[in-house]
Amino acid sequence: MKIVAVTACPTGIAHTYMAAEALEKAASALGLRLKVETQGAMGLENTLTARDIAQADWVLIASDIPIEQQERFVGCRLRQLPLESVLLDAIGVLKALLRDAAT
What positions carry a catalytic annotation?
9
Is residue 85 within 8 Å of residue 29, measured between CB atoms?
no
CA distance 87 to 100: 20
CA distance 74 to 22: 25
